[in-house]
Amino acid sequence: MTFLLFFLLACNREAPATQQPAAPPPNAAAEEGRQLAARYGCGTCHVIPGVEGAQGALGPSLAGVASRPAISFGTVENTPANLAQFIQDPASRNPQSSMPPMAITDAEAGAIAAFLGTLK
């Protein structure tokens, strides 16, 4: 009887307090970018799948943007770095762009670019 009680108690122990927390999901930056695109109102000008209410018609639809070889009317190679820079300051990559510059950090632009990279 004592052995059975010891066995049941041993199986019901909690994990030690020193256990490491779970790592964030690999798409955490993309999720942050999705939230930032909503917060900064990108959907005012663009259709953006996954962003509620993002049904703008002034700029191009961003549906499938990750599958495009270039952005901004084919003038800018579609890489994560180029996309992030374009999001912050479109004219720096295409002086003919009508998209206004965004007052966002490099990290925010990178997160938005990571989200847009999921839109295949």
Q: Where are the domains of the chain?
A: 27-116
pTM over 0.75: yes
Task: Give the CATH H-level superfamily of domain 27-116.
Answer: Cupredoxins -  blue copper proteins (2.60.40.420)
pLDDT per residue of the chain (120 residues) written in tens, 0 to 9: 544 333 333 444 444 444 444 344 458 999 999 999 999 999 999 999 999 999 999 999 999 999 999 999 999 999 999 999 999 999 999 999 999 999 999 999 999 999 999 999
CA distance 27 to 47: 21
pLDDT at site 99: 97
pLDDT of residue 14: 42
What Å distances lie between residue 52 and 19, 29, 44, 99, CA to CA?
37, 18, 11, 21
